[in-house]
Amino acid sequence: MSAEVDIKMDVPNLFGVLFDSEIEVLSDLGDDAVVLAGDIWQGWLYEPLRKGVPYPEEQKGTSGAAWAWEMMSPNEEGKNVRGIEIINNAEIKAHSAVKLNGEPYSQAGVGSYYAGYVTRRGSHEPEADVVVRKIKETLIPDAVTALLRQILYNAGRDRVIMDLEPNRFSDIDEWVDTSLEL
């Protein structure tokens, strides 16, 4: 299971259109959330898989490095929904550890997401839930204030929705680079 946080808002009065200054607030929130997640996701002790079998080096640090964010586009979640998605899609890596008898361990689960299951020793709360809670407590209030400030600042501007649908293939070349370099 991957760890995922959706921070979204329904903005029907804005027709799902955000100006650059408003998008910048969401972008800053995404950057700050990834930094905060990385700060929280520190100090892991890697216990051996089995007695005498160390934790695979290739797996160490992969979930901490996997924190990222993406901007949600209109129509992904609903016509007027905008926001960001903070994700951790760390995958189980193939490893080279062998059993005491010299046989390789099963590679079952390789490629599966696991960050949503990571828990610190002595805790029953997944660490991803700790990250979500800290984002809500420390970043969201200021981001909401900044976003509302930008929306009010832009209140007099027209929010225009444009659907670009070329009716000829040649129209695509005007706004999409279709050239190939070999």
Q: Show the low-confidence residues of the chain (pLDDT under 70).
A: 1-16, 49-50, 52-53, 74-80, 97, 160-182
pLDDT at residue 12, rounded to an integer: 55
pLDDT at residue 176, rounded to an integer: 46
pLDDT at residue 21, rounded to an integer: 92
Predicted TM-score (pTM) of the model is: 0.75
pLDDT at residue 180, rounded to an integer: 43
pLDDT at residue 90, rounded to an integer: 86
pLDDT at residue 179, rounded to an integer: 42
| 25-29-32-36 Cα dihedral, nearest 10 degrees | 160
Instruction: List, as own/partner pairs, every contact residues 59-64 make where C-beta atoms lie below 8 angstroms and the sequence separation is at least 24, other chains included.
Output: 59/92, 59/93, 59/95, 62/90, 62/91, 62/93, 63/88, 63/90, 63/114, 63/115, 63/118, 64/38
pLDDT digits over 83-135, tens only? 888 888 888 887 776 777 777 777 777 878 888 888 888 899 999 999 999 99
pLDDT at residue 28, rounded to an integer: 95
- In 3D, which of 2, 13, 20 has the Cα closest to residue 147? 20
